[in-house]
Amino acid sequence: MTEIIAGLNQGETLVAIVVVVWIGIVLWAAVRPEADVARYAAIGATILAIAIVLGQSRPAEPETSVPEPVSVTASCTLVHLDMTADEVLEALGKPERIVSDEDIRGPAAEHWVYPSNRCRVHFMEGIVRAVE
């Protein structure tokens, strides 16, 4: 029985519950001599019809956020040692950030960051000295 219930979607579960309740209402009204069986049957049928309509309409699929694909226009494999800054600009375009490395590597040392390409290009005096 639990396998049957587990296999139902939300709408089918609602219809199944309402059918059981409707049968209960009709049986309850049938065993009570003073009860108006026709009235209870009509109420139960109305509830059943509403449940069937709601059960057949599928709930909207939840929206999932899908990250935007990274557009890689050029690859860092186009950059090689001893290229000039102008050649790197031509190959990869303008970097997102330029970070000074003067405190670590000396004057005129910097690296250019290209997050969409997932690489950094290290310069010393305007010449490529490393690519990561």
Q: What is the pLDDT of residues 84-104, one digit of tens each?
A: 999 999 989 899 999 999 888
The whole-number pLDDT of residue 16 equals 74
How far apart are alpha carbons 127 and 38 in whole angstroms?
93
> What length does the chain have?
132
Full-prediction pTM beyond 0.85?
no
